[in-house]
Amino acid sequence: MDTFALIVTIGVALGFTYTNGFHDSANAIATSVSTRALTPRAALAMAAVMNLAGAFLGSGVAHTVSSGLIETPEGGKGMGILFAALIGAIVWNLITWYFGLPSSSSHALFGGLVGAALAGGTTVLWTGVLDKVIIPMFLSPVVGLIVGYLVMCAIMWIFRRSNPHKAKRGFRIAQTVSAAGMALGHGLQDAQKTMGVVVMALVIGGVQGSDDPIPVWVKIICAVMLSLGTYAGGWRIMRTLGRKIIELDPPQGFAAETTGASIMFATAFLFKAPISTTHVITSAIMGAGATKRVNAVRWGVAKNIVLGWFITMPAAALVAAASFWVVNLAFL
């Protein structure tokens, strides 16, 4: 029964990674597709490959997720908590994908972990949640907005005497690089989050110790599932990011993608903080777009997106708590 529960939980974790991929693929490629720098299928293929590569660039975020947020008891109860947390995250991902809302898969997972842990009566490491989840959740969009605006202002000043048509053609080519960097950062951040969950399952199941390195097979399957999900594409969310917030031109798209990729690499390597790629790229798009004129950004759409950010963690937590109670009644 314990082995079966472990296999099922890892399978559900991989299912979450797949939904993460198609839910968040828009983060990496929406701006490049909307500016016609890349065709949709070429962009998805590139993003899938870069997601795969990014998953192997580090492990700091995975260790934060596996040991810095909640304590899980060994045995059936711990596995039930982890299973319920993943169900909460998957359900919220599917709901927000259906409505085309670019919410955070990362915060859906964190909300699921906290909700399931509270329902299961285990310890939530609130200091870790505050330092590694809550504070970055508020800071990263602000940083993305400001840096996106400043990067775009710098581009406008540097190319102020350039021929506009030639500059746009050049930035379309440059967006191939910036979109690849965004996808690489997405793989670095989001594949590691699932690696952390799978490691938690292995520790709960007694297969490995909490201080052991992440097994290579865990890195491979998490990277592959994220890439497959990315290639499946999230067209509903892509329309929201690429068109509904603002009509981007290639320089703005380049500025937003460069900003998002830089923030994701910095937080992963310097702080080992699992930040939301959705929050970063969405706010960077708003910042870069606001340089055209402030009212060019559709702030009504932006307000709905930000509202979705705030309700993601509690909504996923409630679903996860309900899922744990069902699992507890049925199996524990």
Question: Helices then strands (H, E): number in the chain?
Answer: 14, 0
Write the CB contacts of 93 (distance below 8 Å, at least 6 apart in sequence).
16, 19, 20, 23, 103, 105, 108
Q: Are 105 and 32 in contact (CB under 8 A)?
A: no
Identify the pLDDT of residue 332.
60
C-alpha pair distances (Å), 229 with each of 102, 225, 247: 16, 6, 26
Identify the pLDDT of residue 217.
95
Tell me the per-residue pLDDT of 192-224, one tens digit each, with 9 for 90 and over.
999 999 999 999 988 888 788 999 999 999 999
Task: Classify residue 297 by its DSSP letter.
Answer: S
Identify the pLDDT of residue 236.
63
Identify the pLDDT of residue 247.
73
Low-confidence ranges of the chain (pLDDT < 70): 1, 27, 233-246, 296, 301, 332
Q: Looking up tokens 């605006």, which residue turns up? A: 149
Number of structural domains the chain divides into: 1
Both tokens of 128, joined, read 């870790």
Q: Are 92 and 319 in contact (CB under 8 A)?
A: yes
Identify the pLDDT of residue 43.
83
Identify the pLDDT of residue 321.
96
Please give the helix or strand (H or E) that residue 11 lies within, else none. helix 2-34
With b meaning 16 or more CB within 10 Å and e meaning fewer, what string describes 168-183?
Answer: bebbbebbbebbbbbb
Q: Looking up tokens 């989050």, which residue turns up? A: 193
Which amino acid appears at position 316 of this protein? A
Please give the helix or strand (H or E) that residue 231 lies within, else none. helix 216-232
Identify the pLDDT of residue 100.
77
Helices (H), 35-75: 40-54, 60-67
Distance between CA atoms of 162 and 164, rounded to whole angstroms?
A: 6
Task: Please choose, from the candidates 124, 126, 148, 147, the residue with its C-alpha nearest in 3D space to the C-alpha of residue 135.
Answer: 126
Domain containing 92 equals 2-331
Identify the pLDDT of residue 211.
82
Identify the pLDDT of residue 225.
94
Burial of residue 223, with CB atoms counted within 10 A of its CB: 0-12 exposed, 13-18 middle, 19 or more buried: buried
Please give the helix or strand (H or E) that residue 92 lies within, else none. helix 76-98
Which amino acid appears at position 148 of this protein? G
Task: Please choose, from the candidates 65, 62, 116, the residue with its C-alpha nearest in 3D space to the C-alpha of residue 90.
Answer: 116
Q: Looking up tokens 């329309």, which residue turns up? A: 239
Q: Are 278 and 203 in contact (CB under 8 A)?
A: no
